[in-house]
Amino acid sequence: MKQAYLESVGSLAFRDLPAPEPGPGEVLVRVHTALTCGTDLKTFRRGHAKLPVPGPLGHEASGWVEAVGPGVEHVQAGDPVMWVPTAPCEECGMCRRGLFNHCRRLFESIALGAYADYILLPARVAARHLFRKPSHLDFAEAALLEPLSCVVRGWRRLGVPESVIIIGVGAIGLMHVAVARAMGCPHIIAVGGRLAGLELAEALGAHRVVRGHLADVAGELPSDDQAVDAVIECTGRPEVWAAAPALVRPGGRVLLFGGLANDATVAFSARRIHYDEVTLLGSFHYSPADVQESYRLLTEADMGLGRLITATRPLSDLSQALFDLERGRGIKYALIPGEAV
């Protein structure tokens, strides 16, 4: 089998490996579609605190069960499947408190290496977070289960407001727009610099789009008594984090979704937090409940998330796809194994 391997930051190669044999509780999947992801791009460019470098790359995918290990009964060879790459241990102190997304062992058994012909799902993942893919759901959309679960986690923290501003129209911001529509949010405003992203935001359910960087267009957004109930920050820029609380009404909520570097610090207006009672929320990863809700949305709701796929390419084009994303060309690429590399 071919597997993309990040040898060092910025250095990607394909390795020839034997297909792994699934052990007890494990499931071997033949990959149909793997998706590019902002996390993979960041790992490729500068490494990642939670993902190994050197190591295999890729974690958003769907495919068919190739083989199952002893004890696996809920799927069998040939089943089309979708999954997320982690599952909580359900034994540590965080899990006992119900904080499954903060499980102390969450990343000890992670399904990495989706940019490959096959991927081996650890027993914990296979038992808790492996699902059959219904026939009506496209493989590329099925591979969105992991990022959608992260977005749903944010919405479960935020609640459904009457009005929301979503800042950023990359893949994550656009999924927030789609979830806002699916959750029945009455008024959705998307803010971003890329015209193509704003057009997609409208197609996914935004009622209004505003083009430009926040610092330049803040005056065009609702303010004072018309200010929105909630803001979702999806750019991962400290200056946008700092500016976001000014956009909500008193008592409003700000979901700071776009991740910053570990050592980043952000200054907020004390008046907004104290006197105006603005609530700041973080969001990390997902819990099993978030994954279940995301699976329901993907399989039962007409979210239109297939629009996020810019193009389909052979897996051998992975480096070029990452290069294009780094330069702002495209939202997500679907990569299909089996081509010569």
* Residues 309 and 255 occupy one common structural domain: no
Domains of the chain: total: 2
* Residues 120 and 230 occupy one common structural domain: no
* Residues 308 and 268 occupy one common structural domain: no
* 317 lies in some domain: yes
* Residues 133 and 188 occupy one common structural domain: no
Q: Which H or E element spans position 215?
A: helix 214-217
Residue 31 pairs with which residues in a beta bridge? 63
| Structural domain harbouring 64 | 2-143+304-336
Q: Is 182 helix (H, G, I), strand (E, B) or coil?
A: helix
Q: Who's near 302: CB < 8 A, 6+ residues apart?
A: none
Residue 211's domain is classified under what CATH number? Answer: 3.40.50.720
List the chain pLDDT tens, one digit each, 341 residues: 999 999 998 889 999 999 999 999 999 999 999 999 988 998 888 888 778 889 999 999 999 999 999 999 999 999 999 999 999 999 999 999 999 999 999 999 999 999 999 999 999 999 999 999 999 999 999 999 999 999 999 999 999 999 999 999 999 999 999 999 999 999 999 999 999 999 999 999 999 999 999 999 999 999 999 999 999 999 999 999 999 999 999 999 999 999 888 789 999 999 999 999 999 999 999 999 999 999 999 999 989 999 999 999 999 999 999 999 999 899 999 999 985 33
* Residues 249 and 174 occupy one common structural domain: yes
* Residues 271 and 322 occupy one common structural domain: no
Q: Which H or E element spans position 188?
A: strand 187-192
Residue 116 pairs with which residues in a beta bridge? 3
* Residues 72 and 123 occupy one common structural domain: yes
* 86 lies in some domain: yes
* Residues 139 and 6 occupy one common structural domain: yes
